[in-house]
Amino acid sequence: MRTDEHILEMAQQAASAARAVARLSAETKNLILHQMAQGILQHDESILTANARDLQAAQSAGLSHAMLDRLRLDHPRLEAMAEGLCQVARLPDPVGKELSVVRRPNGLIIRKVRVPLGVVAVIYESRPNVTADAAGLCFKAGNAAILRGGSEATHSNDAIFDAMLAAGRSEGLPNHAIQLVKTTDHEAVHALLQLEQYIDLVIPRGGESLIRAVAEHSKVPVLKHYKGVCHVYVDRAADLDMAVKIVINAKCQRPGVCNAMETLLVHEEIAEVFLPRVADELISQGVELRGDERTCGLVAQAKSATHQDWSEEYLDLILAVAVVGDLEAAIDHIQRYGTHHSDVIVTADDKAAQRFTREVDSATVYINASSRFTDGYEFGMGAEIGISTGKLHARGPCGLEELTTYKYIIQGTGQIRQ
């Protein structure tokens, strides 16, 4: 069978499985999730053997240490994967939740009810744990899932998928409710992205180039974030002790993630006091500073930033720093170079905070807290399928609710329109 025909068949099977998944009770879905977790633990040896094959191939291919680490599985990682499925089972079922109800003068009762999206495709790169995480979240939200992992993790993904599937079926997982694309050719992804009549949402997870390629070619709506160029703006009315703490945390606590700060903006009235102080602290933590002209005038160790630095997602111990004339200039900077992810104002001035939170057009805006909290668990939503920097459908951390839509269910007693 040709790749595009094979993918079409998978998508059609997913669309019909979606009806069966949508019918399952929360109890049944939770039993299946627990069973899938068990399946992973019971097949630990075969999963690790498969993973060893992937690792060997990756080593021969000369993949970087970081890539190898992402690919590597061990017992603790398998246990975390299984525990992830059990955690999803413990989250409340979003399906069927009544979002609003109105009774119209003509007696019609209009209920707006949360329902599954239908079919969700997840396209991801080297981390094999996504196979379990994405399957669990899509399934709990009542969707059929089509998973497509990276070619470097193909044996690991197959083994995890097979273990979950066999276990889930024993508790009533519907046929084709979770499918893994096993062909590794690139054409499969392209074929998937054309099938808007069967697939309701595609979620790319991985580097910016993967996400851009998916967004560029997809006819199916895409839930995505490109990158996180997150800002901390230290206002003239900031508590400077607090500001230092927040800046250090936002930059250094885990620099390689999307909610880490990449650019620091400082109000000119406090720059002379604040910048040398925070710079000392940052440099002592190993951070390289790239400043605008005024920053370099105040901090001798700062290199000169180029225009490119303002848009850079370093994901590393590097920080761009600029002095701004006022709140408006800070907002302008963020609007121009930011990525609508997470941005922070440190200030004791309520008016400044209000203006910042209203005008900075980001999924998450913080007053006096680190940007590092943008995360499903930290928000109390549980596991997330990703963080959306788009504005349509869902914004910020996306968990179970964001994997659903709604419909209007209207109960009448024979009403007709006059």
- The residue assigned the tokens 């709990």 is 140
Strand ranges (DSSP E) for 194-242?
201-205, 230-234
Least Cβ distance, residue 108 to a second copy (angstroms): 6
Least Cβ distance, residue 33 to a second copy (angstroms): 21
- Binding mask 342-381 vs a second copy (x if CB under 8 A, - otherwise)? ---------------xxx-xxxxxxxxxx-xxx---xxx-
Q: Which of 172, 206, 297, 390 binds a second copy (CB under 8 A)?
A: 390
- Binding mask 181-200 vs a second copy (x if CB under 8 A, - otherwise)? -------------------x
Residues 6+ apart with CB under 8 A from 364: 341, 342, 343, 371, 374, 396
24-28, Cβ contacts within 8 angstroms, sequence gap of 24 or more: 24/142, 24/172, 24/174, 26/93, 26/95, 28/171, 28/172
In one-letter notation, the amino acid at residue 380 is G
Report in angstroms the alpha-carbon separations of 222 from 71, 115, 218, 356, 386: 25, 19, 7, 28, 12
Does position 320 interact with a second copy (CB under 8 A)? The reply is: no
Least Cβ distance, residue 373 to a second copy (angstroms): 6
- The residue assigned the tokens 């105040």 is 298
Beta bridge partners of 343: 231, 365
Does position 253 interact with a second copy (CB under 8 A)? The reply is: yes
Q: Which of 79, 239, 288, 326 binds a second copy (CB under 8 A)?
A: 239
Least Cβ distance, residue 114 to a second copy (angstroms): 11
Residues near a second copy (CB under 8 A), total: 61
Q: Smaller CB distance to a second copy: residue 64 or 209?
A: 209
Least Cβ distance, residue 68 to a second copy (angstroms): 27
Q: What is residue 375's three-state secondary structure?
A: coil
Does position 406 interact with a second copy (CB under 8 A)? The reply is: yes
Does position 80 interact with a second copy (CB under 8 A)? The reply is: no
Residues 6+ apart with CB under 8 A from 4: 187, 191
Least Cβ distance, residue 323 to a second copy (angstroms): 22
Task: Give, as ranges, the residues between 325 and 344 that touch a second copy (CB under 8 A).
Answer: 331, 335
State whether the Cα torsion 36-393-211-144 is positive or negative.
positive
Q: Smaller CB distance to a second copy: residue 132 or 223?
A: 223
Element (H, E) at 344: strand 342-346
Exposure string (b/e) for 115-129, b if CB count within 10 Å is 16 or more? bbbbbbbbbbbbbbb
Site of interaction with a second copy (CB under 8 A): 19, 22-23, 102, 104, 108, 110, 115, 117-118, 200-201, 221, 239, 242, 245-246, 248-250, 253, 331, 335, 357-359, 361-370, 372-374, 378-380, 390-393, 395-396, 405-417
